[in-house]
Copies of this chain bind each other. A is one copy, B any other.
Amino acid sequence: MRLDDLALGLGLELLGDGALEVRRVVGIEKAGPGDLSFVGHPRYAGHAATTRATALIVPPGVETPAARLVCANPYLAYARALALLHPQPLPPPGVHPSAQVDPTAELGPGVHVGPLAVVGAGARVGARSVLHAQVVLYPGAAVGADCRLHAAVQVREGCRLGDRVVVQNGAVIGADGFGFARDEQGRYHKIPQVGVVVIEDDVEIGALTAVDRSATAETRIGRGTKLDNLVQIGHSVQVGQDTVMAAQVGVAGSARIGSGVMLGGQVGIAGHISVGDGVVAVGQTGITGSIEAGRQIAGTPAMDVRSWRRNAALAPRLPELLRRVRELERRLAALEGKG
């Protein structure tokens, strides 16, 4: 693609020769002639001066021998450039002959149903959505328009996905929540899970992630939220908008997670608590009580990230502290003996 066409497509100012061609997007350390790259983080600014890339997306003021596409948010422009230079063809519309689509299911215009997929009775799929091979929609499941469900994704009975939802391979939407009542003999009896899951527009769900249905109401993932792989969302959890959860996060039943929250990998959140808007939790944080909006937390049980760092730095000094106290006791006893 010519650089002037790319600049036009991205709506960015080009400083350099618009007739140059770039063919792919490559990380700045490996980029060479014919490549587009970007400087998104200050730590890579040094690479800009020596890069062999044909063009760079950079914030204002970065020096480079490459042609420059100048942008306040280079990372976002990089995302758009990738889509322009590496368009990912979607499977063509149509239902593969090996797919099992119930006659009462409704498929919108332009829908693709891949090989050996299953669409149950009364299920609905919106316009242009793609169901890859072996996707299973249980009866009454509903998928919006322009969605993409990768191979082996399961959507259970009555669960609903909005528009432009992306679900990676093997994720399970709407399995039964973990609800059991204990009797006098200590045996557990299943609590029927008759609620649903609602996934709002523009959500992405990672591979092998499980979002459980509610016992009697809704589990809800808010608009624009992104869940990584192997995440667990318990029954009746409510997640706000534009929240991100890294891989292997676990959220127990009935917790409420705000909007704009960022959870690092392997964070655990107890049931029935609230995590306010904009909270940031370091990986492996164990959140056992409600957290006010805007806090940055770490550790188990969770505390302010600065306290956690300070405690972590001091913990190795415990043996020294013990020695110093013992020495103080010895000297004080000597002094008391003199007195």
Q: Decide if A274 is an interface residue (CB 8 Å cutoff).
A: no
Q: How far is the CB of A80 from chain B (nearest CB, A)?
A: 8
Contact mask for chain A residues 106-127; partner B; CB cutoff 8 A; 1 contact, 0 none? 0000000011101000000000
With A118-B134, A136-B152, A331-B336 known as contacts, the answer to whether A188 contacts B250 (CB < 8 A) is no
Q: Does the CB pair B172–A169 fall under 8 Å?
A: yes
Q: What are the interface flags for A228-247 relative to B under an 8 Å C-beta threshold, 1 for contact and 0 otherwise?
A: 11101010000000101011
**Could you tell me which residues of chain A, from 209 to 235, have a CB within 8 Å of some CB in chain B?**
210, 212, 215-217, 224, 226, 228-230, 232, 234
| A132: chain B residues within 8 A (beta carbon) | 136
Interface bin, chain A: 35 or more
Per-residue CB contact flags for chain A residues 295-339 toward chain B (1 = under 8 Å, else 0) read 000011101000100111011111101101100110110011011
* CB–CB B242/A252 < 8 A: no
Q: Which residue of B lies closest to A260 (CB)?
A: B186
A329 CB contacts on chain B under 8 angstroms: 324, 328
A75-B181, A242-B186, A324-B329 as given contacts; A284 in contact with B312, CB under 8 Å: no
* Residues of chain B lying within 8 A (CB to CB) of residue A136: 132-134, 151-152
Chain A at the B interface: SS class: loop
**Using a CB–CB distance below 8 Å, which chain A residues touch chain B?**
24-27, 30, 73, 75-76, 78-80, 82-83, 86, 88, 96, 98, 100, 114-116, 118, 132-134, 136, 138, 150-152, 154, 156, 166, 168-170, 172, 175-176, 178-184, 186-192, 194, 202, 204, 206-208, 210, 212, 215-217, 224, 226, 228-230, 232, 234, 242, 244, 246-248, 250, 252, 260, 265-266, 268, 270, 282-284, 286, 288, 299-301, 303, 307, 310-312, 314-319, 321-322, 324-325, 328-329, 331-332, 335-336, 338-339
